[in-house]
A and B are shown apart, each in its own frame.
Chain A
């Protein structure tokens, strides 16, 4: 009985994962090897969709970077999405880390209340939060009317909304709480006696931060980085609502391929390539920072 109880306990989660993740992913992979002609899907196995993504051609210039592809749209959007997502992730970590530090080291009473307060934004739907940014940054939105009322500007600023910066601001705000919690947990776990010992041995406040707190918080920080970076690359709701004509990301292309362009197999191929590129980047990143060593040290 003991031997079977474990798998049985895992079964519900496993079934949900199989039905809701593995099966659709399998379908997506299968779909990406088919082709669409008009209203029909041709079910013969082919690599045509993948070839189309990498097929060389005359270079298309985008922001000074040449993309030597016959169909450069996926490549350009992938690079653009990665850049936007990396910037947003960096911003999230920069804002979230001090918040987590404050929570772990400065807050003594009512920690639970602080943590609940952090999650307050999640009591509203993601869509509404994105929409609120539209109201904040809009032409007659909060920022503009505030500045006009203060007499700082005479005319509303129209560069606040409908551009990549608006997308990054919105993404940063939306994902902060996801980053604060893992960083907080790893900061909270730090043995305070290490800091005392370092202080006794004459380390300054900065030296302690650099040599003890930062390295020991890395597992949480790295987890937070991945938690924010991976889902934001493929986001399409945010660019659609606040990105205007310049904020298109790769997720928007996948959505367009599945709907308007009526080319689901190509959409599937673009999503698979996107997932592979993200996975490769994450592996390179983890290797570069020596994740294994870090885990071992934090666990010790």
Chain B
């Protein structure tokens, strides 16, 4: 009865705007009819790598604020960049040395006031001034974690010849068709070019016809050989554990995790080279949360306790020098090098080409996958 009267009155125009809003509000419609007031603050929103979106890496933050931030996970930085550019209001993002410049050129990164980070004095000095951390003299990324990218393989399932002399060529080898998995990344084309004899310095900056050619030769082949292109580390980890795939592009943590499960797995030093990277936290200007929350989050990531967990749990390095003092000495020893500078010099540090070239790589990579 009530409802019919309401509709009749509305139809006759005998209802004030206020009454209308009150009734609409009861159904949640009001929210779209009243002017939106800009929010001064809200929960901290963090764009994190899948797997890093847990409280374990930020104990200090959770202790202080009683909760984790709102995490949104990503599998690659270009995907995260697109999300923020499409309007996703993130406060903090976790890019790497080779990808932070993309956020800077998109006008999204803010300068970090290192005086507000209590752990900043304990960061390896070389990392504080590394390319990517500093842009035009401003700190745009607080370095946090570092590690490798290489081939993880099952020594019990691959050809002994591969184990004796590992090569990135396995991702383009017909003998391993459907038995390997590469990361869903344009890096595959660059690695292919390296297998073909090119240096990384040339391969990462390929453009124009040379890039198209490399995509046709190596990209297409690599996409055919991989059983699937992974975006989710747990997916590739399970596939490797079951023997569905025998080798995969992987970071240190996959090897560590599988070894912990008692599965035979080895981390290759390919003849074309081992990759290395370091990542960190960047403040974005798209966020709505109180800035102090973002600084607490970054500071929590830089704490030696987080470093200890990374070293012992994942086999990654950490930017805080004190992490190595409190971590299990065996785990530190197992990492081999403990100085990030030595690690970066011993391997190929990932780099990002100029924006126009990076966009070209993104496009070519999508096309290669689409035409499979």
Contacts and interface: CB of A to CB of B under 8 A. Distances in A.
Contact of A1 (B11, B107, B224, B363): B11
A262 B370 contact: no
Contacts of A258: 82, 86
Interface stretch (A196-204, A210-218, A225-233, A243-251): A243-251
B371 A76 contact: yes
Interface string B56-85: 000000000000000000001011011101
A138 to B, nearest CB: 8
Interface string A249-286: 00011001111111110000000000000000000000
Nearest to B80: A259
B5 interface: no
State the main secondary structure of chain B at its contact with A. helix
B11 A73 contact: no
Contact of A260 (B242, B243, B366): B366
A4 B11 contact: yes
Nearest to A74: B370
Contacts of B229: 245
A72 B85 CA distance: 27
A140 to B, nearest CB: 5
B12 interface: yes
A156 B363 CA distance: 36
Nearest to B244: A139
- Name which of A72, A162, A245, A258 has the most chain B CB atoms within 10 A of its CB: A245
Contact of B227 (A19, A156, A244): A244
A262 B356 contact: no
Contact of A262 (B12, B85, B239): B85
Contacts, number: 91
Interface in B341-372: 355-356, 359, 362-363, 365-367, 369-372
Contacts of B369: 245, 248
A38 B355 contact: yes
B339 interface: no
Interface string B316-332: 00000000000000000
A259 B242 CA distance: 32
Contact of A62 (B85, B359, B366, B371): B371
B134 to A, nearest CB: 22
B18 to A, nearest CB: 19
18 contacts: A1-B11, A4-B12, A9-B7, A39-B85, A138-B244, A139-B239, A140-B244, A158-B227, A162-B228, A245-B227, A245-B369, A245-B372, A253-B366, A259-B78, A259-B86, A260-B78, A262-B81, A262-B85
